[in-house]
Chains A and B, each alone.
Chain A
């Protein structure tokens, strides 16, 4: 009896499903697939909660251990790591419900909310860099925004990956500055059209082809973003005089209106006196 192609495909899919015998997890469904493995939603029978299970197709040395060392609000916590009966490695982590960053942006989030996401990602990067870790593959698909606005950076430090086009630095090195390049790419990705010139300049500085021309660290990048949000001049942009004047006016609008009111009152009183 010949089996049809659709039946064979179904059998292949079933055969590829992880064998969770001997674990306390029940498979629910596949929720994501990448070059390094597949992520499933599963239920932890012992704690009666849903988790994400990442089953690795390739033996990636220490990915789970690396993520477990990064205890930060923007890094998905690892619950458990182990080996399946079929020999594949897996790790269980928090199941994040929300949107990938590309989907979040499509939902017309405000500029303030977009910059907040960048800030949270930057803080996670700064935290990791301070502990000697780099991400290597920061991109919108590796950032999740939860239903309450919480931000998670996923897929840390995978040795076999050296970035994604558009977010991969042109220089061959993988270090903090390549992460900063990717962070600039993320900012560029989130900018509205037309982008504020100062933010465009910050993204461009972070994405300089010359690593030495980029921000020296994530903190400098975040500081420039903070300066933009406070209406101050940013390091990345030599703004023209008329823009500096407009920014000063916007930042001191109340004071300027009060001074104008004083001048108007004085002029009016002098004018009325002479009538």
Chain B
């Protein structure tokens, strides 16, 4: 089955974002907020997946895909962490570091899966 990169990126971001948000269950203080965390993390993942896939359609480069994905993951994780508080502080470390790695994974996978668009191969 072939799937275009955008759809692949969105679905991948949704799944990985949900999984990443689900790990908040291991923090007892976050459990009452788990539904919101899951929704927010999934949405964040979808946005990162969409943008990474769009980039992958334009530039075919694994290294750049990982870099851009990681950067987007870090950026959106920062925006989420800046608007969140847990125990009276912003959970920058707990959200941004995993968000950075998840973004890198999304960036890598979107380079490999899905049918490409008008990609320019990196020399």
Q: Which of A262, A269, A273 contacts B102 (CB 8 A)?
A: A262
Residue B109 is within 8 A (CB to CB) of chain A in the complex: yes
Q: Which of A262, A265, A270 contacts B26 (CB 8 A)?
A: A270
Do A266 and B108 have beta carbons less than 8 Å apart? no
- Distance A67 CA – B26 CA, assembled complex (angstroms): 74
- Interface of A toward B, CB cutoff 8 Å: 254-255, 258-259, 261-262, 265-266, 269-270, 273
Contact code string B70-101 (vs A, CB < 8 Å = 1, else 0): 00000000000000000000000110011001
Closest to B109 in A: A255
- Interface of B toward A, CB cutoff 8 Å: 23, 26-27, 62, 66, 93-94, 97-98, 101-102, 104-105, 108-109
Q: Which residues from A are CB-within-8-Å of B94?
A: 269, 273
Q: Which residues from A are CB-within-8-Å of B66?
A: 254, 258
Q: How many inter-chain contacts with C-beta < 8 Å in the A-B complex? A: 30
**Sample (5) of A-B pairs whose CB atoms are under 8 Å apart:** A258-B104, A265-B97, A265-B101, A266-B23, A270-B26
Question: A254-B62, A266-B23, A266-B98 given. 5 additional CB < 8 A pairs?
Answer: A258-B104, A261-B101, A262-B101, A265-B101, A269-B93
Q: Is the interface of A mostly helix, strand, loop or mixed?
A: helix
Closest to A261 in B: B101
Do B97 and A258 have beta carbons less than 8 Å apart? no
Give the Cβ gap from A228 to chain B, nearest Cβ, in Å. 20
Given contacts A254-B62, A255-B109, contact A269 B98 (CB under 8 A): yes
Give the Cβ gap from B13 to chain A, nearest Cβ, in Å. 14
- Distance A27 CA – B119 CA, assembled complex (angstroms): 55
Closest to B20 in A: A262
Do B101 and A255 have beta carbons less than 8 Å apart? no
Do B98 and A259 have beta carbons less than 8 Å apart? no
Q: Which residues from A are CB-within-8-Å of B108?
A: 254-255, 258
Closest to A252 in B: B112
Given contacts A269-B93, A269-B94, contact A258 B101 (CB under 8 A): yes
Most buried by A among B62, B97, B102, B109: B97
Q: Which residues from A are CB-within-8-Å of B102?
A: 262
